[in-house]
Each structure stands twice: as C-alpha cells, then as structure tokens.
Amino acid sequence: MTAVARPRAEIVALLRDLGIIPVIRCDSADVAVRVADVLVEAGLRAIEVTMTVPNAMEAIRALAARAGRSHPRAVIGAGTVIDAAAARGAIDAGAEFIVSPGLVPEVIEAAKATGVAVLPGALTPTEILAAARAGGDLIKIFPVQAVGGAAYIRALRGPFPELLLVPTGGVDLHNVADFIRAGATAVGVGSELVSRDALAREDWTGIALCAEQFIAAVATARAQPRRAAPARV
C-alpha cells in the first residue's frame, strides 16, 4: 500500500478547520478532476470523490498527484466506500480520508490499518455511538435533512458533546449556517454545490461562485455564538 503522506490527526484537523467537504458525483473521472480543480481554486480544499463516479480511482490518483504539486494544501478523499477492498484501493490511489454512507466495520478497520482518517456514516444515536466506538474520526450524519436537519444535530450535541459530527444530505446555502451554529464540526455538500445542471452546462464559474458563498456562510456562522444543545438524557 502507498504510504500515508500526512498523519491521520493532521487530516482530521484540516477537515475540522476547512468545515466543508464537497461531495463530487458525476459521470466521468475527467469531469470529477475538473470540478475538484475548480473547487480547490475557489478555496474548498477538502474533496470527496465518490465511488459512484466511473473510474473513481483514476480521479483520486490524479487529484492526489495534484495535491502534492499544483494544490499542495488540498485533501483528497474517497466517498461512498462500502467495503474494505474499495477502501484499500482508494488509499492506494492516494486518498487521505475515507467516507462511507453507513456503518461498515471493515471499512473503518481498513482505514485504521493504514493510518487514514475515516468518516463512517450513521443516523440514529445507536449507530453514532457504534461508529465512534469502532474508531470513526468524524461521524457522517446521513441523510440529515430527512430527520430534522439542523435541529437534529443540535439534539445530538446533548448526549454527544465531544463527537465530531458531519451532517450530509440536504445541506445547502440556506441552511448551512444553521448546521454550524447547531454544533456541526463540518458539513458534506453534494448537488447543492455541484448541481447536475451546472455540470451539464460546464458552468465552472457558477460552481466556483457557489463554493465561495458556502465558504462565506460557514465563516460567518462560526463567528456567531453557538446555540445551546439540549441537556443530556
């Protein structure tokens, strides 16, 4: 396996600091690389390429090479990882963090074995606790908007004040500040940032503008007082 370029703790700290993880889903590896380049140039330096992208490993490999040259501060990860083989393949290609849509112990184990940061997916309090105990560095809360959005994250902060929660699924420019104020460590953003329509039109300028708006919204929210979470139960 490829040696990890940066320590896991450093990647976790970067993801926390950046606060936004763009989730790239598109129809080709070439387009994924083009979108990632646009986002990194706009200031979104944590990039998640999902395994649903055709030839996703090629995109991750190309972006990981760029992260060492033209984008030295970028952090490239793999998303929608549902088995250990995919996790190991993505890590070999250069992924520095692994994201799964649900709690898959073998994915967590594969990432931990190579010192790579891992974000297991979870939704219920039981799943969230299991993901944390299994070794998840940050916990992806998905699909968050379907179960209450920012209010759900705020409720989770009561029993889980120390966990690093990353709500994903329905985060957009209208509610991203609410998620940050509710206690989200970072957010995962997919089609709300890189829409199918923008991809079809190759509207790179529009995607970059949207990225800048997300960055500004998160920065503003982080500068505001966090709303109190309910008491522990």
Say which of 10, 48, 192, 212 is annotated catalytic.
48
Q: Please report where in the chains the tokens 């929608």 appear, as a residue.
A: 80
Burial class of residue 192, CB neighbours in 10 A (0-12, 13-18, 19+): buried
What is the Rg, in whole angstroms, of the alpha carbon atoms belonging to the chain?
A: 16
Is the CB of residue 232 less than 8 Å from the CB of residue 29? no
Residue 186's CB is within 10 A of a number of other CB atoms, namely: 24
The DSSP symbol for 81 reads -
Rounded Cα distance, 55 and 78, in Å: 12
Q: Is 140 a catalytic residue?
A: yes
Q: Is 58 a catalytic residue?
A: no
- The two beta strands, 75-79 and 97-99, are parallel
Rounded Cα distance, 187 and 178, in Å: 11
Say which of 109, 140, 192, 202 is annotated catalytic.
140
> What are the φ/ψ torsions at residue 51 (nearest 5 degrees)?
-70, -10
Buried b vs exposed e over 124-163: b needs ≥16 C-beta within 10 Å? eeebbebbbebebbbbbbbebbebebbebbbbbbeebeeb
Active site positions, annotated: 48, 140
